[in-house]
Amino acid sequence: MTNPVLETISKRQSIRSYRPDPIPRDLIQAIIEAGNQAPARGRMKEGSSNLDFQPWRFVVVEDADLKRKLVETTLPFWKNMTASMKDSHPDMYAGIMAQFEAMPEPKDMVYYAAPAIVFVIGPKGFDISCSLACENMMIAATSLGLGSCYVGFGAMVTGNTCVVEALELQEDEKIFGPILLGYPCGEQGTLDSIRTEKAPPSIKWM
């Protein structure tokens, strides 16, 4: 059984190589709107009698200088994680480092020079709701011919005051994603080459 929605979900994959082409704003807007349609657990707004079922907000980063600050902040975390694989996964480590060495400057193994980086930001404690918004966005991106990737390392920016101020990140907020968006470059490289086909789901019928 299949339909366009199921086919899009099946085609979605994490893209880590992007063309530099800018993304039209209306496409990004449509992707964010898809995220905004995700189900969410409600919370009471201060001074209001209504439940807020949209706990998230979105920050789209396209500016080159801010991207550079993001890379400078997160790349040390990536290097530490990669170094820990040297003994436990030597083949994978060698492949990743070969990709890193071949990458032009500035080397970006976190955001992969994606044209747009979308930070999904929400209150702490709303992990499920905001993660569902992220998934909606990635499926929407696939349906519109764009590649996407959820990059956990990309959220490790809270130690950079300039970045925190640019994102207007509050103490009670958390970053989900961020989500990379861009047109796939074609060759996906080492990190995507380890992606395997999904095994059939484990199901127990009662």
Q: How do the domains of the chain map onto residue ranges?
A: 16-40+54-186
Q: Say yes or no: domain 16-40+54-186 is CATH 3.40.109.10.
A: yes
Rounded-to-integer distance, Cα 85 and Cα 73, Å: 21
Between 160 and 47, residue with greater pLDDT: 160
Indicate the pTM of the whole model. Answer: 0.87
Q: Which residues of 38-74 are buried (b: 16+ CB within 10 A; e: fewer)?
A: bebeeeeeeeeeeeeeebbbbbbbbeeebbebbbebb
Rounded mean pLDDT, 89-108: 87
Rounded-to-integer distance, Cα 196 and Cα 186, Å: 18
- pLDDT band with cut points at 50, 70 and 90 for residue 194: very low
Q: Which of 42-51, 123-132, 136-145, 189-198 comes out lowest in average pLDDT?
A: 189-198
On whether the CB atoms of residues 176 and 155 are closer than 8 A, the answer is yes
On whether the CB atoms of residues 152 and 164 are closer than 8 A, the answer is no
Q: Is 145 left (phi over 0), alpha (psi -120 to 50) or beta?
A: left
Rounded-to-integer distance, Cα 204 and Cα 11, Å: 26
Backbone angles phi, psi at 119, to 5 degrees: -85, 120
Q: Which of 11-20, 34-43, 69-78, 180-189 comes out lowest in average pLDDT?
A: 180-189
Q: What is the pLDDT of residue 1?
A: 85
Between 69 and 103, residue with greater pLDDT: 69
Rounded-to-integer distance, Cα 86 and Cα 106, Å: 23
Rounded-to-integer distance, Cα 131 and Cα 139, Å: 13
pLDDT in tens, 124-138: 999 999 999 999 999
Q: What is the pLDDT of residue 40?
A: 86
- 186's tokens: 């074609």
Rounded-to-integer distance, Cα 41 and Cα 144, Å: 28
% of the chain exceeding 70 in pLDDT: 89
- 128's tokens: 């499920």
% of the chain exceeding 90 in pLDDT: 68
Average pLDDT along the chain: 89
Q: What is the pLDDT of residue 196?
A: 58
Angle at 131 between CA 129 and CA 137, to 5 degrees: 110
Q: What is the pLDDT of residue 49?
A: 55
Highest mean pLDDT among 47-51, 85-89, 103-107, 148-152: 148-152
Q: What is the pLDDT of residue 53?
A: 81
On whether the CB atoms of residues 139 and 175 are closer than 8 A, the answer is no
